[in-house]
Amino acid sequence: MDIPRYWRLKDQRYRLQGKKCLDCGNLSFPPRLVCPKCKSRNYEKYFFIGKGTVYSHTTIYQAPDRFDHIAPYSVGLIDLEEGVRITAQFTDVPAEELKIGMKVEMVIRQIYEDGPKGPILYGYKFRPVISV
């Protein structure tokens, strides 16, 4: 990823920034230019809480080039508390312990390093909710 794009997407990657339609209230992640529900362009920024449940998950064994050094790793669909379903990697949990319906929370982790002189890219991943 080039540096300008990385900086444009930093709020989306670090803070789960989406958009809320001001006409119908629909939430979108990633942010969209047009509301998929009512076709409005009347939006405001919306920051998701970052808590949800596992809808589905799988383990990746044959990873793309940038991720082959961490394979196998788990990814899944997360239903956020606000009603949006997103895709994310899991962290801090072995694949065999992942369960559908498990409560998870967003954390910031390294996604990949873009070469020896490129930026280290961070972003959201999800882990099981830690009980206190």
Residue 92 has a CB neighbour count (10 Å cut-off) of 12
Q: What are 5-63's pLDDT values in tens digits?
A: 666 666 667 789 999 999 999 999 998 999 999 999 999 999 999 999 999 999 999 98
pLDDT of 106 above 80: yes
Residue 2: how many CA atoms within 13 Å on its side-chain side? 2
What pLDDT does residue 12 have? 66
Whether residue 78 has pLDDT greater than 80: yes
What pLDDT sits at residue 122? 84
Please name which of 97, 70, 87, 73 lies closest in space to residue 124, comparing C-alpha atoms: 87
How high is the pLDDT of residue 91? 96
CATH class of the domain defined by 49-132: mainly beta
Looking at residue 87, what is its pLDDT?
96
